Structure 1
C-alpha cells in the first residue's frame, strides 16, 4: 500500500457500519462468466531488444527509496527494495506476465499442476533439473518443507507477516524423484500458485533465529541470475553481482547496485550520473523530457536581467519556491546555473512510462462520525466524476485515462470487470437526495463552537466567536464555495489548497438561517438563506488528510478537485496536511481521518491478498477491534463469505465470478472509491535496455544491460 510517491508495505480495523441487506444491489451485477477482462491499458515500456544486441558487462545503478530493513520478503518490514532483491536472486515458481497473470517460471519449474482433488487437493511440482542454490545444492522438497513450516503460523517463534495459503497445507513430500515435490492441502486452495514465490533456502527458513535475523542484512545462499554481494549500510547500497552457478542465460551485467536516493533528489542524481534508472514523479519526468529539446537560459545580457525576471523564470521552470521567492540576484543566478547544468545532464536520459499494477482510491472512514452513515458515503461517491479525475492525472502524461472499475483487479487481469454500476456514476441530484434522506438540510443553524470543541472530527480549524477566523492550524484549510473558481481551482490557481492556510484565510462554513430544523429529509424552502448542510446543529464537514512530502503533489491536486466536486453537493472539507512519516501510522492505520487518498496494489491472487483489505472488522480477545488492512473500517459478512468461497474453489471460472461478486458488494458499501491506475514513470539512461516501466510484467534481470554500439531499439508493440 502507498500513497502516490511513497513506498509501502501493508500493516494493520474498528466496528463495521453497514446494515446487511440495506442496499438494493443485485449480487450478480457485472459478474457473468462470459465477461471479458480486456487488455491492460498500457503495456511495458522497457526498450526491449534481443540478447544479441546487449553488450557484455557493466554496472547499473538503480535508485531505491531506502536501504531495505530486511532481505526476508516474509517479514512485516519488507519493502520495495526487499522485493527487488528477491526478484533478482531467488526462485519464484510463478511470475506475472504482461497481462498480470501468473505463468510458470521455466527457470525453476518444468510444470506445476493439481493432480488430485479428492479426498485432498494435491499439487505436483516438477522442478528444473538444473536448478541449484549458489552453494551447489539442488533446489528440492527440503526447501519447500522448511518454508511451509516457517509460514504455516503454527510456530509463533517465527516473526512472519503472513501465513495465507501455507496454513492450508497438511504435508509436503518428495515425489517419484528428487525433482518432484508433492504438496497436499487440508482444505482446497484456489491461489496455490501464489505459494513459494519467492522460495528461500532451508538455511533461512529452517529455524526461527535464521528466519528472524539471519536474512535481514545478508543472504548467503541464492538461486537467481544475481547474488547478494553485500549490503553497505554506510553507503546505503545493496550490491548484486552475477551468480556463477546460475544455469540459465548468463546475466549481461556484471553488477546491479541498488542505491538509496530520496524521491526529491532524483533529478539531481540522474543529472550527476549517480544512478542510471529511477522511478520519478511527474515534475522530474517533465524535466527529463524538456531537457531533450533544450532549455533556454535567462542568464543573458551581461548580468542585466532583473531579479524579478530571474525569479519568474525560476518559478516557471519548477525551481523550489522557498529557495527563490526571496533570493537576491546572485543567489538566483547561482540556482539557475545549477538547474541548467542539471538539464544538460538529463539529456542522456529518457522517460519510460506505463501504468503501475496499483490503483489510487478515495478512502472513506466508516468507523464513526459523519461517514458511519452509508448514505453519506454513497453521496460522496456519487458526487465524484471519476473520469475527470483520471484525466487530470494521466492525460498530461500521455497515458490512457480510464477510471478503475474494480477494487480487486485491473484491466487485463482475469478477475477484472467494471462493477462500479453497483454504486453508480456521478449524479449531483442523487447525491443531494441521499444527503437529504440522511437528514442533512441546507440553511439550518450550526451550533457555535466553544474553545476546545471538535466540530468535524478529532481536529477542528474553526476558531473564535464569530465568522472571522484568524487563520487555522498549520496545514489545515476548510474548502468552501467562495474559495473556488468554476473549474474547481481555488483562487490561488492550482486546485490543491496546499498553501492557503499559510495565507491566514479560512472559510469556516458557519452561519445559516435561524430556527428549528425541518423534519428529516425535508428540502430547504425556496428563498432560504444559502448555508452549509447541517444536522442537529453540526455542519457537514469532512476532514481530508493528505501527506506533504516529495511526490505528494499529484495527491494534493486530486484532493483539490475532489473537494470542489463535494462542495457542489453541499459537502465541505477541511484539508489537513501531515508529514509523510506519520501519514499511515498515525492517521490511516489509526483511523484518524474522514477522507484520504492512498493506493493498493492489484494482485494476481485477490481471494488471498485482497481479503484483509476489505474484511469486516472483528473484535479481538483484548477488547480492541482487529481491522487487518481495512483502514476504511467498512465491511460486510457477505464480502467475507465470498472471499472465503473464492479461495476454496478449484474451478477458476467459479473463483473469478465469486471475486467479481465480492467487488460488487464492496462498491455498494462505498468505503473505498477506486479512481485511477497509478502512473509508472521511470527515468532511464538512453543506452540502457530491457528495463524501465514494466507494468504488470516481471523484470528479466539477466537480459538487462547496455545497448551494443550500432544496435537499435525497435518500438515496443505493447507500448500504448
Structure 2
C-alpha cells in the first residue's frame, strides 16, 4: 500500500489515555436490539459478473501492479500487496472473504471446518476436499498444517516470520480419522481460528528455517490453486501465472495472468497503448477514461478548450490515446481500507487527551468524506469504526463515544487544557515573515475558494505548489490571522496611543479564531504529508483539516516529505503531530487490530515497544477487551467486546477514521469477473474475456464510470 493506504505489519507506539469520570460518555453499544448494526457494504463489487459459459476459454490477462515483490512468502515482513495477489491465485485458503467482507469456507479446499470440542480444550476439525492435491501430486494434509504451525508459532526464532498471531495458541495438530481430516487443538481458546491456514504453504516451504526464509522468496515450486507460478522475472518486472494442470476445481478460464510493474503515472499511457488490461488508477485517469467514453462532439476539460492549448504533436498524441481509451471503462467500489487522521500522543500538545479530543471535535468528517468520494460518484459516508467496515460482522458506528463536529466543545476543551486565545508568544518574528504571511493569505484564500466548489471539480487531486507553500508560511506565523482577504495583527502589550480602535468598534470578523498560546508558545501542530504525485488527495484533505483546526485556534505547519521516508522516518518513528495514512480492514479485528491499538510498553533496552500503534495512544482497558474478544468462542459476545473496544478507542482520540478509500479500476470492456473487488477476495478461476456476441450483465454497482473524477 502507498501511504494513502499504508498497510505495514510491524513496529511501534505509545502514550496513555486518561478516561476521566463524567467527561466521556461511551454510548450504549449497538447490537443489543434486533437490527444488525453491521449493515451492508456502502457499495458492492463492480466486476462485470458473467456466467462461466459466456467466457472465452483461454487468453492472457495483463494486470498492472505497483511492484514485483521481494518475496512470495506472505508471512515475511517484506511481503506486499502483489505477494498477497499471487498467493490468492496459487495457494490454498481455507477461508476467503465474501462480498460483505466476512469469512466464508472455501469449497475448493474444505468440505467442512468447525469447532467440535470446547472442553477441556478447543478443537477444530477440518475436512478437506478429497481431490485437493499439491501441484506435485501429493495430497494436502495434516503434515502441511503442522509444518505451518511450527514455522509460525514463534517458538523457533530461526524462522524469520513477520507474524504468528493465532498460531501461538495451537497446542498440537494431528491427523483425524482419515487422511482428509486435520484436528487442530488449541492451548487457549481462539475466536479467530478461521484466520489460520489462509494461505496454506506446502511443508516443502514451511518445513525448515532455510526453506521458509529463502525457498519461497523468488519461486514457488509447489502450489495448489487454479494457477501456478510460471516465472518471476525481476529484470522485466513481471510475474507470469499459468493454469495449474492438477487443479481439481472449476478450470481457470484464462491461460495466463501476467502481473507487471507499471508506475501509477504511466498507467493511462499503457492502457492506451494496449499493453495492460486491468489497472488501479487515480481519479485523474478515471476522468480521462470517462471522457473518452462520451459521445463524440461533447466538450470537456480534457477534450476541448484544454486540448486546443496543447502543441500540435502533443494534442495529436493525446487524441490518439483518448481514442484507444474508449475500449476501457472504470469500475469503482470502496477498498477494504480506511483513511484516518493520526494524532501522535507521545509528546507535545497532543499528549493531552483534551487537545486530541478538541482536534477531533473540530473536524467535519462528513465534509471530508464528501470532498473525496462525492466527485467519484461513491457514497460519502464517514467511517464509524476503527475495527471494521460497514458490512463486516464487527462493524457498528461507535463515533458517538467521541462526538461529532462541535466548535464550542472543541474550544472549551482547549480552554480547559490551558490554551489561551491571544496569549503572549515568546518567539520573535523573523525578518520578512510578515510579507510571507501576506503571500500565504492570498494563496490560502485561493485554495479555499477552489475547495468550496459544490460540484467537487478540482477538489480531489488539487495540489498547487504555490498555494501549499503560501499556506505553510501563513501557518508558521501565528501572529497573523487570515480572514476575509484581510490581514489582522494581534494586539500586544504596550502599544502606542491611538493604536486601538475606539470603544464600541466591532471586532474584526474571525477574531474568535485567533491562534491559541500556552506558556509563551503557540498551539501549532506539525502536519506531515507525502510529497509524491500520487498523494494529491491526501494533501487536499490535509488542507481542509488545517482550515477546520484554524477556526478553533489551532495552527498547523505543513511539512511535505518524500514518499520513501514518509512512513519509515516519520510515522513509524513518531516524527509528526498530525498525519494521514490508511489501515486495511480485517475480518478478524481481535487478532489483526490489537497491535494497532495496543498500549505501548517499555522494552528491555529502555525503549518503548509500540508494535503498530503509531499514534502511541493506548489504554489497559482496550487491551483487556481485545484479549477477552479473541478468547471468546461465542461470536455474538466476541463482536460485542470488539465494539466496546472501538468505543474506547474513539474516546481516546488517538486516531480519527475519516472515509473508506475509493477503489478505481480501469478494465478492458470485455474483461469480466474482474475489476473493483471491494471487500471480497477475487475468484481467479472465473476471470476471463467475454465470448464474441455475448452480452455482460451489470453487477451490483454496474460498470458505470465516475463523473467528475
Provide the TM-score with structure 1 as the length reference.
0.88
Aligned to 1:179: 180
Match runs of 1:342-357 below 5 Å: 342-357=321-336
Structure 2 CA distance, aligned partners of 1:503 and 1:478? Answer: 7
1:525-560 CA-to-partner distances (Å, cap 9, x unmatched) read 996977421111111111111112132111111111
Q: Report the CA distance between 1:656 and its aligned residue.
A: 0.1
Q: Report the CA distance between 1:617 and its aligned residue.
A: 0.8
Match runs of 1:290-309 below 5 Å: 290-293=291-294
Match runs of 1:138-217 below 5 Å: 138-217=139-218
Structure 2 CA distance, aligned partners of 1:479 and 1:656? Answer: 50
Aligned to 1:308: none
Aligned-residue RMSD, C-alpha: 2.8
Asked whether the 8 Å contact 1:444–1:513 carries over to 2, the reply is no
Structure 1 CA distance, aligned partners of 2:423 and 2:184? Answer: 65
Q: Does 1:468 find its partner at 2:405?
A: no
Structure 1 SS opposite 2:534: coil
Structure 2 SS opposite 1:586: helix
Q: Does 1:222 find its partner at 2:191?
A: no
Asked whether the 8 Å contact 1:690–1:705 carries over to 2, the reply is yes
Q: Does 1:609 find its partner at 2:592?
A: yes
Distance 1:279 1:7, change over 3 A: farther
Q: Report the CA distance between 1:97 and its aligned residue.
A: 0.5
Structure 1 CA distance, aligned partners of 2:69 and 2:192? Answer: 28
Aligned to 2:492: 514
Structure 2 CA distance, aligned partners of 1:478 and 1:183? Answer: 65
Match runs of 1:315-354 below 5 Å: 332-354=311-333
1:641 aligned residue (624, 639, 643):
624
Asked whether the 8 Å contact 2:40–2:390 carries over to 1, the reply is yes
Q: Report the CA distance between 1:496 and its aligned residue.
A: 5.1
Aligned to 2:466: 499
Distance 1:515 1:603, change over 3 A: same
Q: Report the CA distance between 1:571 and its aligned residue.
A: 1.1
Aligned to 2:84: 83
Aligned to 2:500: none
Q: Does 1:548 find its partner at 2:527?
A: no
How many residues align? The count is 672
Asked whether the 8 Å contact 2:443–2:470 carries over to 1, the reply is no
Aligned to 2:24: 25
Any unmatched runs of 5+ in structure 2? 480-488, 495-504, 705-709
Aligned to 2:114: 113
Structure 2 CA distance, aligned partners of 1:532 and 1:601? Answer: 36
1:596-633 CA-to-partner distances (Å, cap 9, x unmatched) read 11111110000000001101111100111111111111
1:673 aligned residue (648, 652, 656):
656
Aligned to 1:428: 407
Distance 1:118 1:586, change over 3 A: same
Structure 1 CA distance, aligned partners of 2:295 and 2:579? Answer: 39
Structure 1 CA distance, aligned partners of 2:558 and 2:305? Answer: 26
Structure 1 CA distance, aligned partners of 2:124 and 2:188? Answer: 12
Q: Report the CA distance between 1:26 and its aligned residue.
A: 4.4
1:375 aligned residue (336, 339, 354):
354
Asked whether the 8 Å contact 1:444–1:534 carries over to 2, the reply is yes
Q: Report the CA distance between 1:513 and its aligned residue.
A: 3.3
Asked whether the 8 Å contact 1:497–1:556 carries over to 2, the reply is no
Q: Does 1:692 find its partner at 2:675?
A: yes
Distance 1:419 1:66, change over 3 A: same
Q: Report the CA distance between 1:336 and its aligned residue.
A: 2.3
Q: Report the CA distance between 1:173 and its aligned residue.
A: 0.4
Structure 2 CA distance, aligned partners of 1:130 and 1:252? Answer: 20
Distance 1:481 1:383, change over 3 A: farther
Asked whether the 8 Å contact 2:6–2:582 carries over to 1, the reply is no
1:229-273 CA-to-partner distances (Å, cap 9, x unmatched) read 000111100000000000011111110000000111111111111
Q: Report the CA distance between 1:274 and its aligned residue.
A: 1.2
1:149-201 CA-to-partner distances (Å, cap 9, x unmatched) read 00000000000000100000000000000000000000000000000000000
Asked whether the 8 Å contact 1:445–1:512 carries over to 2, the reply is no
Structure 1 SS opposite 2:646: helix
Structure 1 CA distance, aligned partners of 2:689 and 2:264? Answer: 25
Structure 2 SS opposite 1:380: helix
Structure 2 CA distance, aligned partners of 1:27 and 1:128? Answer: 47
Asked whether the 8 Å contact 1:497–1:560 carries over to 2, the reply is no
1:212-238 CA-to-partner distances (Å, cap 9, x unmatched) read 111001000000000000001111000
Asked whether the 8 Å contact 2:14–2:615 carries over to 1, the reply is no
Aligned to 1:3: 3
Provide the TM-score with structure 2 as the length reference.
0.90
Aligned to 1:95: 96
Structure 2 SS opposite 1:60: strand
Distance 1:479 1:96, change over 3 A: farther
Asked whether the 8 Å contact 1:37–1:412 carries over to 2, the reply is yes
Structure 2 SS opposite 1:506: helix
Structure 1 CA distance, aligned partners of 2:359 and 2:174? Answer: 53
Any unmatched runs of 5+ in structure 1? 299-311, 450-462, 517-524
Distance 1:618 1:425, change over 3 A: same
2:387 aligned residue (385, 408, 431):
408
